[in-house]
Structure 1
Amino acid sequence: MNQFLKRSITFFALPVFILIIAGACDKDMSVMLDNSATNNVGVSFIDSFSIQTSTVQLNNMPSAGRGSILVGKAADSRFGEVKATSYFRIGFSSIANDIPDAAVFDSLNLVLRPNTNRYYFGDTTKTQRLSVHRLEQVLETKTLTGGVQNTALPIYVTGPSIFNDQTFDYSPTSIGAISFAPRVRSLDSLNIRLDPSLGQEFFDLIKTNDLRVSSNENFRDYFKGLVLVPDEDNSAVVAFGYDSVQVKINYTYVGTDGFKRSGYKILNLVDGNLQFNHLDYDRTGTIFEPLTATNRELTSSATAGLTYLQSGTGVVAKVEFPSLKEFLQDENISINKAELVIETSSPANTMYPIPGTLVLLVADFNGVPVSIVQPLVPTQQQPFLLSFYQVGDQMGRNGKYTFNMLSYMKNLKSTSFFDNTSLYISSVIPADSRTFSNFDTALIAVENAKPKIKLNILYTKFR
């Protein structure tokens, strides 16, 4: 085609296409613009590709070293209950025995402070209760290997970790508990009084220079760590900062001036790579009850079109385009623009936060996510394709996420890598540790018992 004709196509197609889009609103459309001079080229827009959707439960979600102590329980009638229990080690900030000779033990307490994002999920208007338990098993990471017939590992598993479905033994008897109002935006800290007999034991070991407190390694063998457990009647999940955890061994003594004074010995959270959150879910009584770690996929036809995404527990929306590759094999078409649009019925700024960003994971024929869709021009700041949440409006339009699919279309047409694969719309971003330690949830909007997910393609056809 000569350069004049190419310029003519661009000049005429763009403004006319904009007018068509503005007038069509949300209606399905298929438009052809003929070039009257040559009668062999046109621009078409389609948004009616057949899409098959399912809700999928991902497994083996790394949960160690994610930067937040997540603890609590929340429930929603649509997707069920979620629960977080946190495990961590503690050790001395200073091994030296610097307690005054005449000091007397006073108390033992655990101090927790909200994380920097002051994250919460659920109803924070009700009183919450947490209990503290003594860990009875050493925290250890696990290395995953390929499964039966060398099944691939998920892309988000990059090395040894503790995974969100793992548990470690802890004493059923609590060593401390607290009830509190989770006003996370204004909450300064939680101060939990712990078993004084345990505190006296710590104090005596330090005072006598016992070998068990001569190093943090020895202390770990003697005291494995702590577990924070939410009450079953809780209604919210709260995140605390792992780097601000303090266990204080408080004591009193008489100073050289004859006045009574107080002091404390501090234990901090040590080895943040072993702090992990056990994340659990219970979908009993919801439309998603059949979705489990073993029954990992539930088609949207079985849920009246409803599907959802959830960080932490690893719930994603699977999408497949049965006729797309055949369409792209037509040598007489050229894709000008392609967008995947996902509408969500979950409003922003509620007690159930929604994901701010989504990615597209590529799952192999076994349903294991093995790669991430990349943009046309990957950069260090954005090495893979992202979609940021777009707020709805006062006219009742839903919030949405939009992906530029040009790079995916190009690769789907030119390589065999994407054969027998599907896409997972995911709020779990492998490079972002925060997405493994929250419960951000987005329910996809439904229209005519189908998810409101559309693939919009603008293409030029040479006839």
Structure 2
Amino acid sequence: MIYSTILKKRLLFAASIAFLITSSCTKIEGVGLEAEQNLLAVNSSDTFAVSASTFLLDPLPSAGQGGLLVGAFENEYVGQTRASTYFRLAVPDLSTTFTNDVQFDSLTISFFYNGYSYGDTTQTMGISVHRLSQAIDPKELSIALEGDEFPVFASGETLYTDQEFAYAREPLGTTRFSPKPHSKKDTVSIKLDQNLGHTLFGMVLSKDSRLTVEDDFLDFFRGLAIISEPDAKAIVGFKDSIAFSLHYSYERQSDGRRITEELTINMGNSDYQYNRIETERSNSLLRAMTAVNSEIVSTSTDSRTFVQGLTGLVSRIRFPGIRETLGLGATAINKAQLIIETDQLEYGFYPPPDSLILFVANRYGTPTSLVKNASGASLLAVYQQGSTSGGIGRGKYVFDISNYLSALIKTQTYDDEESLLISLPTTTLLSRTNVLQVAQNDNKPAIKLNVLYIKTQ
């Protein structure tokens, strides 16, 4: 009896070693051990099929994301993306005391780079400043939606990328500039309408209630829209702090010198600042995509799928037949890796994203939760540079979805129409326009699922 027990333990150890040595095989037959009338079969597989498409989410919330985006760029795969920004001004501080000989000089607005850009910043671009004629009004998602139709990142009243508010077509001011997105010193300053400046400064001197009472101020001055010229080749980011300045001068009594100063009005509540995003896909691989036709299979897009922030593009993936192959509950997942490859140039104008996440989506494609690991933390796949030996290497992202796959094969009530969405991280999804183009491999998107598992038969 003792000899038999020792023999079984040694056989079990030998089977474990065989599993580790042969982990690259598709399937291992005949490696097993009888234990309590069950056969412990050790298997590994890297051949699970992945069904992939490009999916368009509903318009995304973009209020208060910490940056102003203006500009445009065009990509042969996803088409043209254009960004403009809208915001309120804050009620000005009128505590300054002015001398009798004070004179108004000019009105300007200045923007400060926040380090972000996407596209060709070697080209000049033009922007114009417009006064809003309609109040910025946040909205809520439709109350007709069921609970599982609300995206995980949207709740309450906010502003969305598809909202537009009317503004005066005649700009208050325009400028053309060479973007310097990484500069900590340079600003983009625009001289604004002189008549508006005179009006505002007169109201400052009289301490007009339209500049001191918030409701009166917002009724008088609803906000600003910053619009880019259509020939822009990049989207550039600015800090969500602006300087809307009334410049004035007066004679200093002590020495008779003319002194120039300014009264600066800041940006208002960030909940009322958002980035509007427009797309034009007629000349791209995604030309058939619309709000109604929101999913395009990879066979229609050159065997690729795509991801892009703010526009709502994600790659939707499913694993058809995996539950049937692995069985329900009788399999232990040793390791499951989801690998996404890209052939984007790392140092071009349109580099791949730094990282990706995975959403769990319901049958409608609505992201309802984040895929997490065993400890409850959200999965994050960081870009890994490809090897350049033998040619240009592909970059990749690797997710360990062992925990997700283990739960999938154990859940009796699993919805077969559930899917995963490959996306930019939530904060980036709602504030950046970066693109991921998934590479193609053998007329399929370069997305594969490798699974190592132990199955009790």
Work out which of the residue numbers 240, 248, 252 in structure 1 matches 2:245. 248
Alignment correspondent of 2:173: 176
CA displacement at 1:376 relative to structure 2? 1.1
* Contact persistence 1:333–1:460 (CA under 8 A): yes
SS at match of 2:90: strand
Which residue is equivalent to 2:383? Answer: 389
Deviations 1:293-320 (A, max 9, x none): 2210001122231211001111001111
- Matched with 1:259 is 257
Which of these residues, 306, 309, 316, is aligned with residue 308 of structure 1?
Answer: 306
Partner SS, residue 47 of structure 2: coil
Matched, 1:10 2:16: yes
Residues 394-413 of structure 1 aligned to structure 2 (within 5 Å)? 394-395=388-389, 396-413=392-409
Identify the residue that residue 221 of structure 1 maps to in structure 2. Answer: 219
Matched, 1:340 2:338: yes
Matches within 5 A, 1:184-199: 184-186=181-183, 188-199=186-197
Using the TM superposition, give the Cα deviation of residue 422 of structure 1 relative to its aligned residue in structure 2, in angstroms.
3.2
Offset at residue 150 of structure 1 (A): 6.4
Return the alpha-carbon distance in structure 1 between the equivalents of residues 69 and 134 of structure 2.
Answer: 20
* Counterpart-to-counterpart distance in 1, 2:144 and 2:355: 31
Paired position in structure 2 for 1:26: none
Q: Give the aligned residue type for 1:350.
A: G
Unaligned 5+ runs, structure 1: 22-28
Deviation for aligned residue 1:37? 7.4
CA shift in 2, pair 1:319/1:64, >3 Å: same
Q: In structure 1, what is the equivalent of residue 136 of structure 2?
A: 139
Contact 1:69 1:241 in 2 (8 A): yes
Alignment correspondent of 1:155: 152
CA contact (8 A) 1:97 1:209 kept: no
The code of the aligned residue for 1:453 comes to I
* Structure 1 equivalent of residue 418 of structure 2: 422
Task: Specify the code of the residue in structure 1 equivalent to 2:385.
Answer: V
The match for 2:268 among 267, 270, 280 is: 270
User: Gaps spanning 5+ residues in structure 2: where?
Assistant: none
Specify whether residues 400 and 35 from structure 1 end up closer, same or farther in structure 2 by C-alpha distance, changes over 3 A only.
same
CA, structure 1 residues 418+104, in 2 after alignment: closer, same or farther (shift >3 Å)? farther
Alignment of 1:71-86 (within 5 A): 71-86=70-85
| Pairwise CA distance, 1:31 | 3.9
Residues 47/253 of structure 1: CA separation in 2 closer, same or farther (3 Å cut): same
SS of 2:232 mapped into structure 1: coil
- Displacement of 1:385: 1.6
Matching of residue 129 in structure 1 with residue 148 in structure 2? no
Aligned-pair RMSD on alpha carbons?
2.2
Q: Distance in 1 between matches of 2:86 and 2:30?
A: 66
Q: How many residues are aligned here?
A: 444
Q: How many Å separate the matches in 2 of 1:64 and 1:3?
A: 61
User: For residue 24 of structure 1, what is the aligned residue in structure 2?
Assistant: none
Residue correspondence of structure 1 range 373-384 to structure 2 within 5 A: 373-378=371-376, 383-384=377-378
Using the TM superposition, give the Cα deviation of residue 4 of structure 1 relative to its aligned residue in structure 2, in angstroms: 4.9
Please state if 1:435 is matched with 2:432: no
Please give the alpha-carbon distance, in whole angstroms, between the structure 2 residues aligned to 1:33 and 1:398: 34
1:49 CA drift (Å): 1.3
3-state SS, counterpart of residue 438 of structure 1? coil
Give me the whole-angstrom Cα distance separating, in 1, the residues matched to 2:431 and 2:85. Answer: 11
TM-score, normalising length: structure 1:
0.90
The alpha carbon displacement at 1:419 in A equals 1.2
2 CA distance for matches of 1:456 and 1:344? 18
- Cα deviations by residue, 1:355-413 (Å, 9 ceiling, x for unpaired): 212111111112211111111112xxxx3122111111212331111111111112112
Give the corresponding residue for 2:352: 354
In the alignment, is the contact (CA less than 8 A) between 2:180 and 2:186 conserved in 1? Answer: no
- In the TM superposition, residue 101 of structure 1 has moved relative to its aligned partner by 2.8
Q: Which residue of 2 aligns with 1:318?
A: 316
Task: Work out the CA distance in 2 between the residues paired with 1:413 and 1:226.
Answer: 53
Shift of 1:264: 0.7
SS at match of 1:212: helix
Give the 3-state SS of the residue equivalent to 1:450 in structure 2.
Answer: coil
> 1:256-313, CA deviations, whole angstroms, 9 ceiling, x for partnerless residues?
1211111110100010111000011111111211111221000112223121100111
Rate the CA distance shift 1:149–1:67 in 2: closer, same or farther, 3 A. Answer: closer
Amino acid at match of 2:347: N
Q: 1:194 to 1:144 in 2, by over 3 A?
A: same
Counterpart Cα distance in 1 of 2:243 and 2:72:
23
In structure 1, the residue corresponding to 2:266 is in which secondary structure?
Answer: strand
Partner of 2:362: 364
CA–CA distance in 2 between the matches of 1:265 and 1:288?
48
242 and 32 in structure 1: CA distance in 2 versus 1, 3 angstrom threshold:
same
Please say if residues 353 and 424 of structure 2, whose CA atoms lie closer than 8 Å, have aligned partners that are also in contact: no
Task: Give 1:435 deviation, angstroms.
Answer: 2.8
Look up the match of 1:70.
69
